[in-house]
Chains A and B, each alone.
Chain A
């Protein structure tokens, strides 16, 4: 999914199942969650430059639905999980409704998804907040605004974890 034109509308990106890329080991599939449109655009571009496949969500509820943890019946959940395997979730902390921290906890509580690394982003550098996230299983905390160097660091870190 290379075109970014029009993909950052208020709807979540739809990923089409490509059998040639199913289980493609080199390319990381990242789910990026942020309620701010500009930040979504930025993180998407940063990740694409770093050769990641990117799906964006504008809030935690949509993210959970995408991950198959939403209020859907089990059949759909299983199907979603198999088709759109996510290797990393990167989420903003401050979001209306469910926060990134709450999203983190839901992911870590799920038997299917607890192995997926979750990175929390925030514009505010609050040590108690950072520690709380790390203590609840966040892989990393990243300070906004994100720069290219941050994502490169993140990717290296994750690739090492995978091998």
Chain B
């Protein structure tokens, strides 16, 4: 094992994950998720976030269809979708996605279709952005493991 390479990769990982928290992509709940992963379940976090992103995609599709026709919007449907999304994003620590959902919910309550469409677009952007960032993070993890190192525990607080 090349200890210099491992140390470099670990440093890269540490810096990257800290930046994700600092830029508000992730919140403390993501570190809680990481605590649940161990040698026996090394893919727990990536599995859960993968499910989350699939969920985002499906819900966004459904909500998009509900919002399609200006004269016939099922705001209850949309609200139900946002509720799901808000819950999941909160549970995985996807902070920006969750925050858009809060605004999104407001737009549903006042039946503001334009507002909903804007939020929908934003939530789509945010989840895709987070997906890319986390993919990069997981790739770094893999590189560390392949180089024979261990993934650092990063304390955000």
**What residues make up the interface of A, taking CB atoms closer than 8 Å to B?**
4, 36-39, 41-42, 45-46, 49, 94, 96, 123, 144-148
Once the chains are docked, how many angstroms separate the CA of A148 from the CA of B32? 7
Could you say which residues of chain A place their CB within 8 Å of the CB of B88? 36-39
Could you say which residues of chain A place their CB within 8 Å of the CB of B80? 96
**Structural contact, B36 and A148, CB atoms closer than 8 A:** yes
B111 within 8 A of A: no
**What residues make up the interface of B, taking CB atoms closer than 8 Å to A?**
29, 32-33, 35-36, 41, 44, 47-48, 51-52, 55, 80, 83-84, 86-88, 90-93
**Structural contact, B44 and A45, CB atoms closer than 8 A:** yes
Once the chains are docked, how many angstroms separate the CA of A39 from the CA of B52? 10
**Structural contact, A38 and B48, CB atoms closer than 8 A:** yes
Could you say which residues of chain A place their CB within 8 Å of the CB of B41? 4, 45
Q: Which of B36, B55, B90, B93 contacts A123 (CB 8 A)?
A: B90
Q: Mind listing 7 A-B residue pairs with CB under 8 Å? A: A36-B87, A38-B87, A39-B88, A42-B48, A96-B80, A145-B90, A146-B91
**Structural contact, B55 and A38, CB atoms closer than 8 A:** yes
**Structural contact, B36 and A45, CB atoms closer than 8 A:** yes
Once the chains are docked, how many angstroms separate the CA of A42 from the CA of B37? 11
